[in-house]
Amino acid sequence: MEGLNDLFRRLEQLNDIGASLSSERNIDLLLEKILLAAKDITRADGGTLYRLSEDGKRLCFEIVRTDSLNIAFGGSKGEAMSGKFPDLPLHRDDGAANDNLIAVYAALNGKTVNIADAYTAEGFDFSGTRRFDERTGYRSQSFLTVPMKNHEGEIIGVLQLLNAIDPASGKVTVFSDADQRLAESLASQAAIALTNRQLVEQLESLFESFIKLINLAIDEKSAHTGGHCQRVPELTMMLADAAEAVDEGPLADFRLSDKERYELRIAALMHDCGKVTTPVHVVDKATKLQTIFDRIELVDTRFEVLRQQAEARKWRSIAEGEPASRAEQAFANFCGQLDVDREFLRRVNVGGERMRDEDIERVRQIAAQYRWTTPSGEEASFLSGNEIENLTIRAGTLTQAEREIINYHIVATIKMLEQLPWPKHLKNVPEYAGGHHERMDGKGYPKGLTRDQMSWQARMMGIADIFEALTAKDRPYKEAMKLSQALSIMENFRNNGHIDPDLHEVFVKAGVFRRYGESFLDAAQRDV
């Protein structure tokens, strides 16, 4: 009766282990759980878990445990496995099966091998085991070697258990038939759980690679946005880590599970995917007159045409009897004013400073003051209406229409993300990614959300997006900003309702900006 109760107990333990294995997301921890569970359920003193190499030619040591010798390699608590044990080739150099090794035999034949005593067993090479025993004083006796098959019947690894311990006497004994069946059942469950986890990781890797492909497409369109798509996720996760460390105030209970962290990272990676729809000449607009090229060159050409036309008038007036000195002086005065006006237009074209009202008026005066003759002989306005509109942009290089084109990328992002059939653990990606241009006071876009309508994660991304843009050193329209200046602007944004004040406090007090600066900014920018 006691033996039956023990079997029922171990069956219940096996069920609990199966549930635990199916919920584990980390493959290293999963492998460790498999071996420890197998040791526990069979009362083994030691054990080794091998995985089949990617090329299918070798068994690789993943985890090794021997309790009585305090040996622990691999897993979350053991020493690093790298270089400790050589891989086991499945075949020799001549192509013959290397099945004198018990683990290889189990893998090649898909059969469990139960050895009562390695020192008396025939047909297998235990020389390595004996050398180990000689070095350590250990006595390797009973072996239970179980192949791990996935749902398609393919071998993906081998589970090997060493020295079953009799619970009554504490002595080494053989692995019983019940031990073997339990180990085989566990190995089957473990193989399926491991395969499922590997498939999930492969799908996640494929998905992230697809995201990076989109970011690469954006990068290929513009070298000034691809880095942004990579840096914002890093800064977002830095801020999330700092927020999780807070133990008081509004963020005291903010914690992220592994799934939630993955969801936030995916959202951060995809936050600007809509930029694939944004025209390159708008994204890369380094000067006010830039489209496919900087149209200031056309304005320069017109100034040169005006100069040549003025020179022709000079010679014509001299030929008509006007004193040469007076004609020359009038020509010199005209050309001097041309140079001044041309230099002024070149300066305001840069868009580096906020334009004054008098500068805007001067652009219009220049446009009205000059007329030039086109190559076809027609007289035309010196500046077109579009050129006047661009040259009188008060701040930056974008017109209102171009700003709307830029802003539309977030609408495109949301539309694109909402088309995807997100699984449950990623269902918030559109909300997080689509909210990074919203403001706490409801004056952002595209939805005009207020702080209370936004998640912590979306607010984090807003801060990361702004700070990265301020400090970026690869933008054509501005110089790299120092940390002190960027922090001053962020403080103003906090005060005027642009960004979340609680997250801003964490951003500053926890030194998130400093860690980001050390990783991504030049030394000259790190002045704080």
Q: Please report the pLDDT score of residue 26 as a whole number.
A: 72
Lowest-pLDDT choice from 163-177, 322-336, 342-356: 342-356
Give per-residue pLDDT as tens, 489-513: 999 999 999 999 999 999 999 999 9
Residue 527: CB atoms within 10 A of its CB come to 11
If pLDDT is split at 50, 70 and 90, which confidence band does 243 have? very high
Mean pLDDT for the stretch of residues 221-242: 84
For the ranges 33-37, 68-72, 358-362, 426-430, the lowest mean pLDDT is seen at: 33-37
Mean pLDDT of 76-86: 76
For residues 44 and 38, give the distance between their C-alpha atoms in angstroms, rounded to a whole number.
8
CB 34 within 8 A of CB 190: yes
Q: How many helices (H) and strands (E) does the chain have?
A: 18, 10
d(CA 314, CA 333): 12
The CA-atom distances, in angstroms, between 192 and each of 37, 185, 264 are 15, 11, 28
The pLDDT, as a whole number, for residue 24 is 62
For residues 359 and 348, the answer to whether their CB atoms sit within 8 Å is yes
The confidence score (pLDDT) of residue 10 equals: 62
8 Å CB contact between 156 and 52: yes
Among residues 183, 192, 195, the alpha carbon closest in space to that of 11 is found at 183
At 149-160, the pLDDT tens digits run 887 888 988 999
State the pLDDT confidence band at 1, using cuts at 50, 70 and 90: very low
Name the least confident of 85-99, 272-286, 299-313, 322-336: 272-286
**Residue-level pLDDT at 394:** 87
d(CA 302, CA 306) in angstroms, rounded, equals 6
Q: Is the peptide bond before 421 cis (omega within 30 degrees of 0)?
A: no
> What is the secondary structure of 212-256 as a DSSP string?
HHHHHHHHHH-TTTHHHHHHHHHHHHHHHHHHHT--SGGGTT---
Domains delineated in the chain: 2-200 (3.30.450.40), 222-278+409-525 (1.10.3210.10), 296-397 (no CATH)
User: 21-49: b or e for each residue (b if 16 or more CB lie within 10 Å)?
Assistant: beebeeeeebbbbbbbbbbebbbbbbbbb
Report H helices in 64-112: 102-109
Q: Which pLDDT score is estimated for 237?
A: 97
Model confidence, pTM: 0.66
Tell me what the pLDDT averaged over the chain comes to.
87
Question: Do 165 and 140 touch, CB atoms closer than 8 A?
Answer: no
Provide the pLDDT for residue 438: 94
Q: What is the DSSP string of 417-469?
A: HHTS---GGGTTHHHHHHTTT--TBS--SSS--BGGGS-HHHHHHHHHHHHHH
* pLDDT one-digit tens code per residue, 112-123: 999 999 999 888
**Average of per-residue pLDDT across 460-474:** 91
Output the pLDDT for position 473.
80
| Burial bucket for residue 505 (CB in 10 Å: 0-12, 13-18, 19+) | middle
CB distance 190 to 148 below 8 Å: yes
Please tell me the predicted confidence (pLDDT) of residue 354. Answer: 80
CB 114: neighbour CB atoms within 10 A? 18
The pLDDT tens digits for 91-104 are: 999 999 998 999 99
Q: What is the mean pLDDT of residues 237-253?
A: 95
* Listed residue (205, 133, 216) closest to 172, CA to CA: 133
Given a cut of 60, is residue 8 above it in pLDDT?
no
Q: What is the mean pLDDT of residues 34-42?
A: 85
pLDDT of residue 406: 79
